Amino acid sequence: MAGITFGILIVSDSRSEGSQKDEAGPQLKRLVSDINTDTGKILKGKVLWDKIIPDKEEIIMEYLVEWSDIQKLDVILTSGGTGFSDTDVTPEATKKVIEKEAPGIVTAMLVSSLQVTPMAALSRAMCGIRGKTLIINLPGSPKALKECLVPIACVIPHAVDLISNKRADVERMHASHDLTKTNNNDHSCDLPATTLLHLENIATRLRESPYPMLSVDKAKELINKNIELQGTEIVTIWNAHNRILANDVFSLCDLPPFRASIKDGYAVLAEDGKGRRRVLGALKAGNTAASVSLVPGACIRVNTGAPIPDDATAVVQVEDTKLILKNSDNTEEKEIEILTVPKEGQDIRPIGCDLQKGELVLRAPIKLGAAEVGLLAACGYKEVEVYKVPSVGVLSTGDELEEPGNDLKPGYVYDSNTITLISILRENGYDPKNLGIAKDDKASMVNAIKNALGKVDVLVTSGSVSMGDRDMLKPILEHYFNAKIHFGRVNMKPGKPTTFATCTYNGKKKYFMCLPGNPVSATVTSILFVIPLLNEMHGDNSKPVIVRTKVDSTYQLDPRPEYARAILTWKDGTDLPLAYSTGNQISSKLFSCKSANALLMLPGKTVAKTVLHPGEVVEAILLNPRTTM
């Protein structure tokens, strides 16, 4: 079995020209080297030839003939060119070179793919034999070709034996397995750790994750690359606080809209200088300036913010005046004395001195705080356009989880992740939905995810993403929801199995942040990944507050960069805060998060640096910086 030789032919104009990155070729190479066969062995297929060529029938035929007749490969896998486009000619080229068709292989691929999507009916794959070579057409997308190759993987070695007349191998195969029987529970053709069916075959599960280990920065980059803003909506300014402004805002009026007094005092003619003035009356806030006219030797009493007469040139504050005469019932001023020499324009706010009509008030995107919504009101706005906030739900997974407050059965633990994650989301301004607990079985999990996707834009899960035999979330997302796993492992401690995926559900893009089940891992990764994801989805570009701090104790460094819970304290006379460890940092010990106000960003261990000593400086992410500072 291990001696099967493969050729991989990628058929694509864009990929051959280099305008599109080829992902199908690397995917096929991985699959060929790691396919579970009927006999329980792992097929270590050897790829001798691989090539990317344009969608040209004569070129496709040339390579199929050369690899079959001259290179004498056992199997040629083509990818691409099987659709309905004018340039899709791979099946036509294949049909012209094969000597025998293999419709059963095509049928097996089609039946399997139709279980995933009805669009599989649009594939026009062709399979057949030329000489001693089996030629199989596969779709162009990495996901679709995997869905087609997995169901037929177990027949490839037997087909090669039959074509090559390896009678001993054929007889041994028939003796060990009756190929004419169909067993719906036989999933031996599954690709390890890539399809749901394999989860029922624990003995052959992968011992290492198939997902590459990415840095935290690369994981964040992939998140940012694959998210989309949620669109906009109009809200009243009463509901705009903490929302992200979608468009620039320009003032609808002059601010102030009239000449206004800065002080409580008297509107005067500055050229009158010091001396006595007759009090002609008063202007209060809300009055109009045209209601009173000012003459030399007189003044008008005004309040702060009130309009002043059009002919007034200064305001003198009450503290710089003296009462000279009042009326008979002692209720009104009749005459005052100005004790200082007023200056032209003194204590008067000109029209539009703060903002002029049409002037830029707020530049989008910006988070609308108390001052910003107050400014919108002052400029005449009743409503404003903001980015929609993504809806988010939290789903815990695990057979062992029990709702807090219920009787705890043997082998169970209380679900702390749901309330912890919901609380973190609320602290950051979101209104998450509690989507409960999904058991570790396919039906429960699929139904829970379907229910979630009908309610939220972003689904945050905890558990079922590691390497346990019941960790089925990733294959479920791929198999049932046609999701793309953008990353499945992160080089960090805690939180290595953190997974980010997207899919289209009912015509709308949905997002999955799948966190580890350990409470501390879920807490740390929600801060590092979930909150930034949600923020970016509605235009909030705010970043976590990172400070430099000195460690108070010795830290043995881990090969992975570590995010250690700590308490930062600021003392007078010190240049940096001091970080105190919260204790044992094991990922299941939620108690280590108690009172923590920071995550120390410890570097990964190197040959030159294996330990941090007291007094050394590292960076730390502040948790809830409003209260920390």
Q: How far apart are CA 144 and CA 127, in angstroms?
A: 16
End-to-end CA distance of the chain: 65
Quote the tokens at residue 91: 């099946």
Number of alpha helices (DSSP H) and beta strands (DSSP E) in the chain: 16, 35
Residue 498's pLDDT is 95
SS3 167: helix
- Look at 54-68, 175-189, 328-342, 477-491 and tell me which has the smallest mean pLDDT: 175-189
Q: How far apart are CA 587 and CA 521, in angstroms?
A: 6
Nearest to 34 by CA among 172, 120, 201, 150: 150
Quote the tokens at residue 167: 């009678």
pLDDT class for 44, splitting at 50, 70, 90? low
Domains annotated for the chain, with CATH where assigned, are 5-171 (3.40.980.10), 232-254+355-387 (3.90.105.10), 260-349 (2.170.190.11), 392-538 (3.40.980.10), 546-622 (2.40.340.10)
pLDDT class for 628, splitting at 50, 70, 90? very low
Please say if the pLDDT value at position 243 is more than 80.
yes
- Is 443 buried (19+), middle (13-18) or exposed (0-12) by CB count in 10 A? exposed
Residue pair 462/522 in contact by the 8 Å Cβ criterion: yes
Nearest to 157 by CA among 125, 179, 182, 139: 179
Task: Give me the mean pLDDT over the 492-521 stretch.
Answer: 95
- Distances in whole angstroms, Cα of residue 592 to Cα of each of 49, 447, 497, 520, 589: 54, 34, 20, 8, 6
Quote the tokens at residue 174: 């028939």
Q: Average per-residue pLDDT in the chain? A: 86
In order, the DSSP letters of 76-136 are: EEEES--SSSTT--HHHHHHHH-SEE-HHHHHHHHHHHHTT-GGGGG----EEEETTEEEE
Give CA 189 to chain center in angstroms.
Answer: 34
Quote the tokens at residue 544: 């976590």
Count the neighbouring beta carbons within 10 Å of the beta carbon of residue 387.
20
Quote the tokens at residue 377: 């009101």
Quote the tokens at residue 40: 């329980």
Residue 390's pLDDT is 97
- How many Cα atoms sit within 13 Å of 23 on the Cβ side? 11
Which carries the bigger pLDDT value, residue 313 or residue 624?
A: 313
Task: Give me the mean pLDDT over the 194-200 stretch.
Answer: 47
Residue 403's pLDDT is 87
pLDDT tens per residue, range 61-114: 999 999 999 889 999 999 999 999 999 999 999 999 999 999 999 999 998 888
Amino acid letter, residue 76: I
Biggest distance spanned by C-alpha atoms of the chain: 130
Torsion of CA 11, 17, 22, 26, to 10 degrees: 70
Residue 407's pLDDT is 86
Task: Give me the mean pLDDT over the 11-20 stretch.
Answer: 89
Where do we find the tokens 């293999």? 102
Beta strands in 328-389 (DSSP E): 333-338, 348-349, 360-362, 383-387
Residue 392's pLDDT is 98
Per the DSSP assignment, residues forming a β-bridge with 578 are 550, 569
Residue 175's pLDDT is 41
The backbone region for 398, taken as left when phi is positive above 0, alpha when psi lies in -120 to 50, beta otherwise, is left
What single-letter DSSP state applies at residue 422? H
The backbone region for 159, taken as left when phi is positive above 0, alpha when psi lies in -120 to 50, beta otherwise, is alpha
Please say if the pLDDT value at position 629 is more than 90.
no
Residue 533's pLDDT is 97
Residue 424's pLDDT is 95
Q: How far apart are CA 39 and CA 157, in angstroms?
A: 10
* Range among 19-23, 381-385, 440-444 with highest mean pLDDT value: 381-385
Please say if the pLDDT value at position 36 is more than 90.
no
SS3 459: strand
Please say if the pLDDT value at position 618 is more than 90.
yes
pLDDT class for 228, splitting at 50, 70, 90? very high
Residue pair 351/258 in contact by the 8 Å Cβ criterion: yes
- Distances in whole angstroms, Cα of residue 413 to Cα of each of 218, 364, 417: 34, 47, 11
The reported pTM is: 0.64
- Look at 269-273, 403-407, 554-558 and tell me which has the smallest mean pLDDT: 403-407
Residue 583's pLDDT is 65
Residue 593's pLDDT is 52
Task: Give me the mean pLDDT over the 147-159 stretch.
Answer: 87
pLDDT tens per residue, range 127-139: 999 999 999 999 9
Cis peptide before 519 (omega within 30 of 0): no
Please say if the pLDDT value at position 548 is more than 90.
yes
Q: How far apart are CA 254 and CA 613, in angstroms?
A: 60
